[in-house]
């Protein structure tokens, strides 16, 4: 299938984030891990259908761990016939209007003629189920299957999430995401925020920063010191949980800006930063310490 000329409402890979917050915009990673993931993914898409269908290779004889695991999952899942590898599929909304398109890694049929869909994943394990359910619904729309088995296959962790889904359930979940994107409501902090491009200016995160900045000023008088405020927080489980949530979110937010790595590079290059010094860990790596 040729890529369509329609404008995508969102990319299928951003469906997991869009499901939690309609404003989610994925960051594009060019890290070495992302490059490695892309290479492994391409290798899986090329090799697995051939090893399964043409060469009928026994997984126990495969030496590359990610290929061995992916191949063993195909055999265990009971797929009888691989219909296609790396197929471009199109998702329409409930009124038949174009929503998006993307490439499904692999799909086929089992003994009961049920659809079997596979999505290869590398790197850190995250919940990508909305993406693979989206592909599944696109295939269902195309071919009219009523039931499918979706497989999220994490080849690095050697873990697979396998779920049965009907057309009705897939529609309910995916059409809700489509609605979320077309009419986004308030910004909702969620576990995908770390991979969202908007985190820096997002109203939900600005509010967290504001809270942190004041350490809950509405609860305390100006006469109290920072230490007094922390003592009060420690005594109250509700305040303590609010503080810890905000504190942890802020730590992640600051880490994501890469400021520590930047400062380290500056110091390694000879820039003096008052109050800080370079130290050496037992593994021989340099890090920043307070002077």
User: Residue 116: helix, strand or coil by DSSP?
Assistant: strand
* 199 interacts with ligand SF4 by CB under 6 A: yes
Q: Residue 24: which region, alpha, beta or left (left: phi > 0; alpha: psi -120 to 50)? A: beta
At residue 239, the 3 state secondary structure works out as helix
The pairing of beta strand 115-121 with beta strand 147-154: parallel
Confirm or reject binding of residue 189 to ligand SF4 (CB under 6 A): yes
Residue 26 gets which letter from DSSP? B
For residue 41, count other CB atoms closer than 10 A to its CB: 18
Q: Evaluate whether 160 touches 69 at the Cβ level (below 8 Å).
A: no
Chain residues 63-92 in contact with ligand SF4, contact rule CB under 6 A: none
Least distance in angstroms from the C-beta of 188 to ligand SF4: 5
**CB–CB of 131/13 below 8 Å?**
yes
165 vs 196, which CB is nearer to ligand SF4?
A: 196
- Single out the residue of 57, 146, 182, 48 nearest to residue 106, CA to CA: 48
Q: Which of 147, 188, 212, 247 binds ligand SF4 (CB under 6 A)?
A: 188
Residues 6-25 that bind ligand SF4 (CB under 6 A): 17, 21, 23-24
Among 68, 121, 151, 187, binds ligand SF4 (CB under 6 A): 187
Cβ of residue 15: shortest distance to ligand SF4, in angstroms? Answer: 13
192, 211, 229, 253: residue in contact with ligand SF4 (rule CB under 6 A) = 192
Based on the shown chain and the rule CB under 6 A, indicate whether residue 181 belongs to the binding site for ligand SF4: no
Residues that bind ligand SF4 (CB under 6 A): 17, 21, 23-24, 187-190, 192-193, 196, 198-199, 202, 204-205
């Amino acid at each position: 299938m040729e890529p369509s000329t329609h404008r995508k409402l969102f990319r299928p890979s951003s469906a997991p984030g869009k499901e939690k917050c309609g404003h989610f915009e994925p960051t594009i990673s060019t890290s070495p891990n992302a490059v490695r993931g892309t290479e492994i993914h391409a290798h899986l898409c090329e090799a697995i259908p051939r090893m399964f269908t043409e060469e009928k290779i026994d997984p126990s004889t495969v030496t590359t761990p990610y290929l061995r695991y992916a191949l063993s999952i195909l055999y265990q899942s009971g797929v009888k016939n691989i219909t296609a590898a790396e197929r471009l599929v199109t998702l329409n909304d409930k009124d038949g209007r174009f929503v998006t398109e993307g490439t499904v890694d692999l799909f086929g049929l089992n003994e009961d003629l049920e659809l079997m869909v596979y999505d290869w994943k590398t790197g850190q394990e995250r919940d990508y189920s909305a993406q693979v359910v989206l592909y599944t619904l696109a295939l269902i729309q195309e071919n009219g299957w009523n039931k499918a088995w979706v497989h999220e296959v994490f080849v690095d962790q050697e873990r697979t999430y396998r779920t049965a889904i009907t057309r009705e359930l897939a529609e309910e979940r995916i059409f809700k995401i489509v609605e979320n994107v077309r009419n986004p409501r308030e910004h909702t902090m969620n576990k995908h925020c770390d991979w969202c491009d908007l985190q820096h200016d997002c109203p939900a995160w600005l509010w967290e920063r504001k809270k942190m900045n004041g350490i809950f000023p509405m609860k305390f008088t100006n006469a109290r010191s920072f230490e007094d405020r922390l003592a009060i927080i420690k005594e109250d489980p509700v305040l303590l949980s609010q503080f810890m949530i905000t504190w942890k979110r802020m730590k992640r937010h600051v880490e994501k800006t890469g400021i520590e790595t930047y400062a380290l590079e500056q110091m390694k290059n000879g820039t003096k930063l008052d109050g800080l010094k370079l130290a050496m860990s037992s593994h021989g790596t340099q890090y920043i310490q307070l002077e």
